[in-house]
Amino acid sequence: MSEPAGEVLRDLARLLTGMGPALAPEGSEALLQSITEAARELFGAQACSLALLTVDQSELVFTTASGAGASDVVDLRMPAGQGIAGWVVMSEQPISVSDLQNDARFASDVAQSTGYVPRTILAVPVASPRRTLGVIEVLDRDTSRPGAEHDMRLLSLFADQAALAIENARAFADLGRSVLGAVAAAAPGTPLAAALTAAAEEAGEPDGDLLRLSALLGELDRLGPAERRLASSLVEALLSYVRGRGRRPS
């Protein structure tokens, strides 16, 4: 496979990976938000949050939250092995703690940074059949309500729904590697297959800015033609301005 052809394949992989989120079904983020809100209401909890492992599994990032301290929890990052949440993802086991202040695993400093320090927690791993994705937790739930003894099993059902939504969204984010890998599998042992596999491996994760842009393109696609024409005009004007300056924006 010539180098120009290989570069074309790499560009194709990057393009597919960057555009994948634009093709994703609408509402995955809204679904995760509704899961945390529904769980909080069902358990009579003060708060509910979802934290996901980063790609390298070194950190947990709280992506979704509902209830007390929610605005300060979202986007909070912590080492993957820290706190009750870290214990859950590392052990891949659910946990219920009724006295957090006396539990050595509790990251009280992290809780204090959100302005809300819980007394109790129920947390279960969010996992697909392939991997652990993160953790969902409810804080200070009402344990006196009927059926509270089944809370861990119920929260596991919410975790399963969250895992499904997350994996579906990531499948579109990984579109470049998936497409090239599938084509390579159809021609095993050939130079083309080797080039396709190499391009898929080099594609990597889509850039965060490209993910946001792709998601916006997906939203625009669901709007009317007038809105799409306006968006195209704005993008063309930006590109014309940048080309006129003779360099790409940083």
pLDDT single digits (tens) 145-154 = 999 999 999 9
pLDDT single digits (tens) 108-151 = 999 998 899 999 999 999 998 888 999 999 999 999 999 999 99
Q: What is the mean pLDDT of the segment spanning 75-97?
A: 95
For residue 121, the 8-state DSSP code is E
Domain borders along the chain are: 28-172, 207-250
Pairing of strands 77-79, 95-97: unpaired
Cα 219 from chain centre: 18
pLDDT single digits (tens) 208-248 = 454 455 556 556 666 778 877 887 788 788 778 777 776 55
**Do 206 and 20 touch, CB atoms closer than 8 A?**
yes
Q: What is the topology classification, in CATH, of domain 28-172? A: Beta-Lactamase (3.30.450)
143: helix, coil or strand? coil
Q: Is this prediction's pTM over 0.75?
A: no
CA angle 184–187–189, rounded 5-degree value: 95
Instruction: Give pLDDT, residue 72.
Output: 92
- Give the amino acid at 43: F
